[in-house]
Amino acid sequence: MDKNSADFKMLVYDLMNGSIDLEMHPVEESRYVKNAYEEGSDCDQAYAKAIKACERLGERLGAPSGEDPDVECIMNSMLKIQEILCMKMYEYGWFFAKSEKE
C-alpha cells in the first residue's frame, strides 16, 4: 500500500486512536504505531475528563441520559477536527521528509 495514500493515512490514524481491534485484525504497522489512547496515557486521561464534562453538562442541561445533542455535536466536531489535523500533519511530514532526500 502506498504510504501516502488516503487508506494508509487512515490506517495509521486508526492505529493511533485505538479504532482497530488488533486481536481480530493484526496489522504489521502496529509494531511502529502506538495507540495514543492506551489506558493511563495522556490522551486517555484527557478524553476521560472530556467525557465526564460532557456528561455533567448534559445533566445540567436536563438530558436524562446525560447526553445533550449539542454537547455531543461539540465532541464529535472536535474529534473530526483532530482527524483533519492529523491527516494534514501526516501530509506535511511526508512532504518535508521527501524534500530532505532531494
Residue-wise pLDDT for 22-71, tens only, equals 999 999 999 999 999 999 999 999 999 999 999 899 889 888 777 889 98
- Rounded CA-CA distance 33/53 in Å is 29
Hey, what's the cell of 44?
Answer: 486517555
Q: What is the pLDDT of residue 1?
A: 86
| Mean pLDDT over the full length of the chain | 92
Entry pTM: 0.83
